[in-house]
A and B are shown apart, each in its own frame.
Chain A
Amino acid sequence: MRAFNAELSKLFSLPGIWLAYLIGAIAPAAISALESMAQKEEILAGVSTRLSEVGYIGLALGVQGVIILGVLAVSSEYLTESSESGGGQQITTSLTVVSSRFHLLLAKACAVTVTSILLSVVAIMTTISATHFVLGEYTPAFEVSKLIGAVCYWTFTALLAFGITVLTRNGIIPLAVLIINTSVVSFSFLLSKVTKLALYLPDRVGIEMFMFTSDRFLTPFTGGLVMFAWVFVLFIVAAIVFHRRDVAA
């Protein structure tokens, strides 16, 4: 519990973490507002085919905030980019404070989980307000089950970012891969045209939890389950690698 508190305070005092909170709170709302504006005419005329996706699209495309959160939580332990620091890595301090590596990783993962749940709740609130602001009474009702799906999607995505960064120890690759992959031109979407297996990739199944009402591939619940399986496996792999590795290497 003390390790968890320590990780939580580390997470809130990171340089650059403000970017994660800012993007997390604003990006989904901005995307939803833009999308609603573009769809407004069709919605008012009652011919929109994407009414059920309005709002959720922001939550699907706006997850960069938690990606940054998950990546920074780990990469900050390894990287020092200040002109004054002599190249010390925080990870050595962290491991002398909490000697069990598994506990450290678990505490960190819990801190990331809690923070991304909070961030996703904030994002949902700003997104719903933004959609209401644009569409007024035409705003489609937001179902609780789908919103819970969105919270799960955000949290799992943060944990995926976290797990990948534990493996790479460098924020650049996970940031690039995950940000591109959550965009409208994702790798998974391209791959899914080549092989159906790509539909089981974590971001594809995760989105099933609250999007794609028309041509769905998995039910929201199975989608969430498959994404959780990805997160779980990645966490186990990360824990094993983290446990075996020399810190300084």
Chain B
Amino acid sequence: MPLTQADFDAVLLTLKLASLTTVLLLLIGTPIAWWLARTGSWLKQPIGAIVALPLVLPPTVIGFYLLVSMGPHGFIGQLTQSLGLGTLTFTFSGLVIGSLFYSLPFVVQPLQNAFEAIGRAPLEAAATLRANPWDAFFTVVLPLAKPGFITAAILGFAHTVGEFGVVLMIGGNIPGKTQVASVQIYNHVETLEYAQAHWLAGGMLAFSFIVLLALYSGRRVRQGW
């Protein structure tokens, strides 16, 4: 196998990035999805559209805006600098933030669908059984939405693993910090190292297939197709 230490580091970094992003996305995405599923506010459509933007935008667009806004003159950059964090471009934290934007709809939408499918009824039942809203959320909504959470986590994770454009734009290709597998594949192709590219790309292909297979199999079991 022609893979180098840099390739393995890139794979490891990718898994670390995807895991951290997925956990954060579940934490951030749950309240957003809950709000979108339950609100009657006129803001529902605009916010829903903003969340869905990464679905239709080329990653390079997100990457470019992140590059500009996380830079020293951008609003995120100004904020992080005033907090003493410096700028986030070319850092692992920057990649995490980029991935959060990029994979947000893949987590929010399955959760929103799950919450909408659950409806108000189980919550009302819980309220009449003395459960306060937080209690009801954790003991009724979360278990009932479990398939939605599984779907959201798998899609968020897989999509972050496959992310390329954003990382390319804000990463800086730093080994061990921002050099993830997809960028490493690009490097190999660019430098005509096709054998290594094949190994990495084939690995990602197999990984994506297995993830999707697991997702669809799980769905079949759950829905009894």
Are A and B interaction partners? no
